[in-house]
Structures are given as structure tokens and as C-alpha cells.
Amino acid sequence: MNRPREEHIRHLQNILGPEGWLAADEDKAPYLQEWRDKFHGETPLVMRPASTAEVAQILAYCNDQRLAVVPQGGNTGLCGGAMPKNGELLLSLGRMKRIRDIDTDNFTITAEAGCILADIHRVAAERQRLFPLHIGAEGSCQIGGNLSTNAGGTAVLRYGNMRELTLGLEVVLANGEIWDGLRGLRKDNTGYDLKQLFIGAEGTLGIITAAVLKLFPLPRRRAVALAGLKTCEQAVELLSRSKERAGDRLTGFELMNRLSLELVGRHLPECAAPLPLSHPWYVLIELSDTDEAPLDEKLQHILERAWEADLIEDAHVASSLTQADRLWRMRHAISEAQKHEGGSIKHDISVPVSQVAAFIARADHAVAAMIPGFRSIAFGHVGDGNIHYNPLQPRNMAKAEFLARWAEVAETVHDIAASLGGSISAEHGLGQLKNRDLPRYKSAVEIAMMRKLKTALDPHGILNPGKVLP
């Protein structure tokens, strides 16, 4: 790669126009610091194109001049995937935020990559439709970033992750060519499903500029409950029973250990749990349906049967939508609450649902042997086997000393997940945080195939270098 020179910068500025770039340090600063403050970047220019045509011109020029480009959405990632670490050019999609189309009969919405996730929710709801991806950063994350990391969230159990929510893409390739794959078809058996190459690729194969996304009927009824349990194993059994009794009305099933909720109550009391925090484990359950029939009785019946089977110790069923939303705010507040307690070594793993309890028990035992006094934070989407396992620094250890153990703790935790048939990244991507670990968990054949795809689509390696692949 070449380092951007003044003539390169001037040429790109001319493509973008006066509103399309930032070069002053104070203007670039928000784009160069990640949410949890682990990664910081450097760039001579933040490029903010307003159209797919401008993205194409930028990449054609950068490919010709061998200039590296790092794409960025809402900058809410956690693995450094959108940070320019070696002075690469930064391409922010935030100005490309137009809803191009909404087809209520086809149940699709076509949105540009810079659209804020919450805005897509709002536009869909105004037309009595649902876009079901929900994550804690939905007020600032962008749909292009959600696609590039194959985001999951709290409703994967019923609706799937971004791979399953996407019908078509528009992508600008490394050489500036535009692939128009914006087709809203559920059936298209005309060769390779090319969109899947770019979903989850973190901008290393092409830059997503727009997408056709699936919509669903807007639920008319919701029922939400928080239940306290003795063991993690009971949570997995309760999940199975809830699936059997509620079917696809089971929309969310979130697991949280007691300490994670204690931190929410301590630092964000407006989101505190409505139950006494006397139980080792908690699950947040949501049922939803397009039918007008109330779901409270169905959820109450599930909880009563669980009580009779000695699976739960206590439960609180939300009596209003306001209470239901507060329970979800409690769940989403866990990540924020952790920040007030010092350093945490975060993991985004997935294992088969049947192995969730075994993973947490083995991980707790292993980390305690390495760092006595550590505090275990475990929560996440147990319904699809995705656990956010975030060991928190001991009270008597300095933050820097604890975070210096990141690599060895992560390797131990990831080895446990892999031994249970799991993955080291469920929904946050690899970025620059985990890409060097890939050879430990992927076969040589898999990595070779990935490299061949990268070479075929980005032969000069200008797109997000140093991310995903080691």
C-alpha cells in the first residue's frame, strides 16, 4: 500500500465536494475512537460520500493508486474492525441514509448503508411493518455495519440474524465496479448467492451501499417476564419448555447472571430489576404475536409449569408495555453498567444451546485459576447459544494489570468454546481483535478458501487491510 500524499487527498476531496470530507483533527476525532476505548485509529482524511457513485469513484481511484480504505458505519463495533490502524483512508457511510423504497406487499424495505437502525424500525412501524433486528446500539449503529458484521441481537431466536434478514445488496467492489443485487426475491436460484460473501465480511471484500431487507407483520401483542433461577442448566431447560409451549411466538430469551443485574441497579438505577436480586441467574422472556389474543395467560402458564417443575424461584410478568420496555432497558444496560466497574475482558462466543451451562462453568473455573478474585459477568442470547462472557477485574487489582492478561484469558475462554463445538465470534465480528486467532480455530482449508476470495475480489488488498484475515 502507498501512504496517501497531498495530491491524493486533494483528488479525493474534489470527488467528495466541500461537505464530503473532514481533515481537521478535532473533526476526525469521533471517528477514530471506539465505543469501549480499546482501539484508536489514525487517518489523514475522513471521506463522507453522499452516493453510491461517489463511493465507486473513490474506490476506483484508491485501487489505481494502491491506497488502503477502511469503511465505517456508526462506529459502534467492539473488535476494531472499522478503525484505520495504520493511517489508512477512512470512508464513513453516514451521509448515505436514504430509504429508497418500502414495499408493504412484498414485506421489504430498501435502505442505504448509512441508515440508523432505529430509523428503519420507525419507518417500518409507520407502515405497520416490523424490522426485527434489535441491539443495544440501535440508536446510533448503521445498517451497513450491521450487515458487515452479520449482527444478531435479541430476536435471532425467532427472526434470525442479518444473513437471514437480507434479500439483496448493492455493493461497490474494490475496483469501483458497482454490483446491483437489490432484488427483493425469496426465491432466486440463478447461481451463487453472492450477497452472502459480503454479509459478515467486515468490508474486506466490497463496500455495501444499500440493502433490501425483510419486513414482518407488526406484532399486536407482547408479553414479557423476568424469572429468577438457581442454575444456568435450569435456564436451558426452561428455554426448551418455552419453545415447546409457545412455538414461534417465543421472540426473545435472554440469560443474565446476578452480578450483571446488580451492576445495572448500582450504576443505572432507572433500569434496575423489579425482582429482589437473590437468585444466581435470571432469564428475560418475550412472547409476541400478530393476533389480538392476549399472551399474558400463555406466558403465565409457562411460568406456572416451570414453578411446578422447580425450574424457577420467582417471576415478574410485566403488566404494561412500559414495564416490558423497562425490562428490556435493564438487559441492554448491562454493557454500559460494566464500564463503571473497571476493566473487563469481553468475549462474544457461541456454543450449541445444550452446552451453554457447561461453557460458563468451565470458563469461570479456568479464569478463577488464572486470576483469583475475578468477577464473572455472563449474559446474552441463550436462545441461540450466544453468550457475552466478560470477566471483570478483581476489586484489588489495577485495571491496566488486569487488561494486560487479555490475550491469555481470551485464548483460554476461546479454547473452551471451541472444545464444545462453538465459535470465538457470534455477532461482533473478528476485526483486528480476533483475526490473528483464526488459524487456531479454522482449518487450513477454510483459511485458504477465504484468502482466495479476498484475492479474487480485492487483488491489491486495499479494502480494510489487517481485518478478518490474519
Cβ atoms of 289 and 220 within 8 Å: the answer is yes
CATH of range 99-217; options 3.40.50.720, 3.40.50.1700, 2.70.70.10, 3.30.465.10 = 3.30.465.10
Give the per-residue pLDDT at 293. 82
What are the residue boundaries of the structural domains of the chain, listed by start? 6-92, 99-217, 221-336, 342-428
CATH class for the region spanning 221-336: alpha beta
CATH class for the region spanning 342-428: alpha beta
Cut 0.85: pTM above it? yes
Would you say domain 6-92 falls under CATH 3.30.43.10? yes
Best CA proximity match to 338, nearest among 400, 283, 390: 390
For the record, the C-alpha cell of 240 comes out as 426448551
Q: pLDDT 10s per residue in the chain (470 long)?
A: 899 999 999 999 999 999 999 999 999 999 999 877 788 999 999 999 999 999 999 999 999 999 999 999 999 998 999 999 999 999 999 999 999 999 999 999 999 999 999 999 999 999 999 999 999 899 999 999 999 999 999 999 999 999 999 999 999 999 999 999 999 999 999 999 999 999 999 999 999 999 999 999 999 999 999 999 999 999 999 999 999 999 999 999 999 999 999 999 999 999 998 888 899 999 999 999 998 888 999 999 999 999 999 999 999 999 999 999 999 999 999 999 999 999 999 999 999 999 999 999 999 999 999 999 999 999 999 999 999 999 999 999 999 999 999 999 999 999 999 999 999 999 999 999 999 999 999 999 999 999 999 999 999 999 999 999 98
For the record, the C-alpha cell of 100 comes out as 429508497
Give the per-residue pLDDT at 343. 93
Same fold, 221-336 and 342-428: yes
Question: What residues does 381 pair with on adjacent strands?
Answer: 386
